[in-house]
Amino acid sequence: MSIKDRLQKLRLSLAEREIEAILISQPENRCYLSGFDGSSGFLLITPQKAILVTDFRYMEQARKQAPEYEILQRTGDITDWFPRVVTELRLKRLGFEAEHITFALYHQFSNAMEEMEYQLGLVPLNRLVESIRVIKEPEEIELITRAVEMADNAIEHIEDRIHTGMTEKGVAWEIERFLREQGSQALPFDIIVASGPNSALPHAKPSSRPISSGEPVVVDIEGPLCQGEHILREPDVHDETALAILRGAQSLHVRSLESVPRASDPNSGDSLLRDHFLKSISDGKQHARALGRREEARLAYHYGIRVSEYPLPVKRFLGIAVET
């Protein structure tokens, strides 16, 4: 889908809400609607115009990446260009991204227009562009598939190189180096490498702890859309039992999603987990990754467990997560 098509979808959504224009400030939305991936800028989109405002550092980049847009250079803060553009376009109702515009910036908008004695209605919009982004285009699906393959390859790569005495930080760096050499962009989340007792921490940070023989090592690569797990020994019966219980709960959730249009409370999976574990069952809707760190997705549930004591005869801390 082209930038023109994305703009057309957005304009139809604005028309349905009787809003003349929208100011885009959120970086991922700015890139999605224009192709411009610089770190500074605003989009102002009306039924007839598409304007990209940025500073002198990105003018040449903006012209190359956003040919559909009129490019304006700003030299100061928002008051340098916002009132002038709004009055030239004769806007009366302007939508803005409520989850991204700060209270201070909102006041700058309001005060700038009041000083000009111009009546402008500022309309907060919640996740309007994200609702368009959630439906992936064929090109996006292809990129997501490539990212999954890259993450899978990274897990295979580290399986051949991980060894006792290697630190968690060393493992994380080897994975990131491999991903970068395969063409990955910057990872939106730090790679998680957690060994031994650290593997029970849901969001452990890689440490200088050396990996010992006979202990689990959890490797979580969230950036390129995939999660992998490596254990530096053969799983024992307790590991396999815990994992089987989690997979059973996961399977119940998948079946509930397949059988009803909206599965908001698949309690059967919860019950299976609570029957076997005494503590720390956490659940949340699974997120998809694409342009942003977390895209909207509502088709699966993610279950993670941090256990220190439960009926299974496990004498150590162990963290397990299963994702659909």
Q: Could you state, in order of their start, the residue ranges of all structural domains in the chain?
A: 3-133, 138-323
pLDDT for res 211: 94
- pLDDT recorded at residue 200: 79
- Torsion angle of the four alpha carbons 114, 120, 121, 123, in this order, in degrees rounded to the nearest 10: -100
SS3 at position 204: coil
Task: Say whether 298 sits in a helix, a strand or coil.
Answer: coil
Rounded CA separation 151/323 (Å): 15
Q: Which CATH class is domain 3-133?
A: alpha beta
CA atoms within 13 A on the CB side of 102: 4
Cα atoms found within 13 Å of the Cα of residue 237, Cβ hemisphere only: 2
pLDDT, position 259: 59
Per-residue pLDDT of the chain (324 residues; tens, 9 = 90+): 699 999 999 999 999 999 999 999 999 999 999 999 999 999 999 999 999 999 999 999 999 999 999 999 998 888 889 999 999 999 999 999 999 999 999 999 999 999 989 999 999 999 999 999 998 999 998 988 888 899 889 999 999 999 999 999 999 999 999 999 999 888 878 899 999 889 878 789 999 999 998 888 888 886 544 444 445 556 666 667 777 777 777 677 666 655 554 444 445 555 555 454 433 444 444 444 456 655 654 443 333 433 333 333 333 444 555 554
Helix (H/G/I), strand (E/B), else coil: 4: helix
Of 109, 137, 134, 132, give the one whose Cα is nearest residue 122.
109
pTM: 0.72
DSSP assignment string, 46-66: -SS-EEEEE-GGGHHHHHHH-
Can you list the alpha helix ranges (DSSP code H) found in the chain? Answer: 3-16, 27-34, 59-65, 82-89, 103-115, 128-133, 138-159, 168-181, 237-259, 267-276
**Which pair of structure tokens corresponds to residue 117?**
């004695």
Q: Which residues of 83-120 are buried (b: 16+ CB within 10 A; e: fewer)?
A: bebbeebebeebbbbeeebeeeeeeebeebbeeeeeeb
Q: Classify each residue of 270-305 as buried b or exposed e, where b means 16 or more C-beta atoms within 10 Å of its C-beta.
A: bebbeebbeeebebeebbbbbbbeebeeeebbbbbb
CATH fold, domain 138-323, is Creatine Amidinohydrolase (3.90.230)
Same CATH fold assignment for domains 3-133 and 138-323: no
The CA distance from 321 to 303, in Å, is 6
Alpha-carbon gap, residue 305 to 248, rounded angstroms: 14
